Chain A
Amino acid sequence: MPIEKLRMVVLASLMAALTAVGAYIYVPLGPVPIVLSTLFVILSGLLLGSRWGLASMGLYLLVGAIGIPVFAGGKGGVAHFFGPTGGYLFGYILASWITGFVSERSPGRWILDILAVVIGSLAIYGLGVPWLKLVTQMSWTKALIVGVVPFLIGDVLKAAIAIVLARSVRPILKRQMSMSTIDNEK
């Protein structure tokens, strides 16, 4: 396997692991807890791009599905996909893909990074809130109050931190990639 691909495989695993660690920093607030995972979901899209960001979040869900405690508050198992937070979990895949897709258009531009994290964060709600409504039989208003409102301020903070982190770390990733390209050319 070429080293560039191997590096993306390892980085996708790393982002899945960071998302899992983020799930342990959580506040149990009603049926949907506040978690730090969403920061790493967005970050995986910003750093790895759409394809590998999606792979990384798919991997995170797979690790949780086999029973390893990587979901919010140390939960694990397939059953959590069918619970009230299942939509948010599937939303991670969509969010990471969309964030990566938008930020890839012109890498390094502030405005596209901001747009990417905004659309990415909204994508989590796009799947999470209808799912929450369906599972808990809440009204739309209540689903929005329980599933969106408490997270808005935190999500703005997490999105801003994700952009700061992504912009600080991208040069390191670029250097690693360029070094392996030079080695290959030698």
Chain B
Amino acid sequence: MARIALHYFPGNSLLHHWDARCKFFGLLMMTATLVQSNIAWFTFDSILLIGLLFLSKLPLRQFLRDFWIWAIFLFALFFFQAFFTPGLRVSFFPWLPISLEGIYLGGLTCWRLALILGYAVLFTAVTRPRELRDTLAWLLKPLPFLPERRIGLMVSLTLRFFSIILDEAEEVRLAHKARLGDQNKNPFRKAKFLALPLLRRSLSRAEEVTLALAAKGFRDDLPIHLSKLPFSHLVPLFILLGSLMIIGWYQL
């Protein structure tokens, strides 16, 4: 089944209609708050994310189904930190080699990663790739000697390929497993039977995209046409900035 996380999902919500430039700055602000491991920031970010997810009217069940791979990854990370961080043993289970500090650090790390993933998935789900490409081109335009339209296209292609590669990796892995290839532990043979088919399939996908772009007559020397940013779209951004400043003030 195709993955929908990190893809655009058409909709008619306020978030879908919000100007992509404002969404982009909003995303930057939110990722900036996730730099420090701070419970107050994380709580605010989590509440806001849940609110925005409901506001986006996205099919959350479908998105959650895609999260299982990331959930496994987050659990693995949590246990790794819990086991390998030195500190006081948990008094309830003294026989378990996990520390309280490890649980705390692991919990914060997983919380932060889940928030980064959540905001990235939400942003890509409510922003068309074309809007993202134009926003980046608009941001990079003042910088001299940079092909802003080309960079914008490359960023949107990277996001598209990221999701495609994950899907194809899963297909190759299952095909490999069906032939009992997972019994072999030799890394070179694994690379040959897993990475090589994946790379070949990715290259043929890349060729299809190249031909499609060439057929469309893609040019990177055309001017960008973006409408003037309406003031009403800036208001939520100012509210967000104000809220972050208030929390930041109390944290200091």
Stretch at the interface among B9-17, B38-46, B149-157, B244-252: B149-157
**Is the CB–CB distance between A68 and B120 below 8 Å?**
yes
Most chain B beta-carbon contacts within 10 A, residue among A14, A18, A55, A69: A14
How far is B202's CA from A172's CA once the two chains are assembled, in angstroms?
Answer: 12
Whether a CB of chain B sits under 8 angstroms from the CB of A60 is: yes
- Residue contact A21 to B165, C-beta cutoff 8 Å: yes
Chain A residue at smallest Cβ distance from B214: A3
Q: Is the CB of B203 within 8 A of A164?
A: no
A145 close to B (CB within 8 Å): no
Measured between beta carbons, the chain B residues less than 8 angstroms from A10 are 157, 206-207, 209-210, 213
Interface string of A166-178 (1 = CB under 8 A from B): 0011001100100
B187 and A14: CB pair below 8 A? Answer: no
**Interface status of A66 (Cβ within 8 A of chain B):** yes
Q: Is there a chain A Cβ closer than 8 Å to B111's Cβ?
A: no
Q: Which of A1, A63, A73, A172 has the most CB of B within 10 A?
A: A1
Q: How many residues of B contact A (CB 8 A)?
A: 58
| Chain A interface bracket (under 10, 10 to 19, 20 to 34, 35 or more) | 35 or more
Q: Which of B77, B157, B192 has the most CB of A within 10 A?
A: B157
Distance between A51 CB and nearest chain B CB, rounded to angstroms:
13
Given A6-B214, A67-B30, decide whether A161 and B154 contact each other with a Cβ distance below 8 A: no
What's the least CB distance linking B121 to chain A, in Å? 9
| Consensus secondary structure, chain B interface | helix
**Smallest Cβ distance from A135 to chain B, in angstroms?**
14
B220 at the interface (CB under 8 A from A): yes
CA distance A75 to B192 in the complex (A): 29
From the candidates B116, B207, B214, B220, name the one contacting A69 in the complex (CB within 8 A).
Answer: B116
| List of B residues within 8 angstroms of A13 by Cβ | 153-155, 157-158, 161, 206
Q: Can you give 20 A-B contacts (C-beta < 8 A)?
A: A1-B218, A1-B220, A6-B213, A9-B150, A13-B155, A13-B157, A16-B154, A16-B158, A24-B73, A55-B154, A60-B158, A67-B28, A68-B159, A70-B162, A73-B73, A73-B113, A74-B116, A76-B116, A165-B199, A176-B207
Query: Interface on B for A, CB 8 Å cutoff?
Result: 6, 24, 27-28, 30-32, 34-35, 70, 73, 77, 80-81, 113, 116-117, 119-120, 123-124, 136, 150-151, 153-155, 157-162, 164-166, 169, 187-188, 191-192, 195-196, 199-200, 202-203, 205-207, 209-211, 213-214, 218-220
Interface residues of A (CB under 8 A from B): 1, 3, 6-7, 9-14, 16-18, 20-21, 24, 27-28, 55, 59-60, 62-63, 66-70, 73-79, 157, 160-161, 164-165, 168-169, 172-173, 176
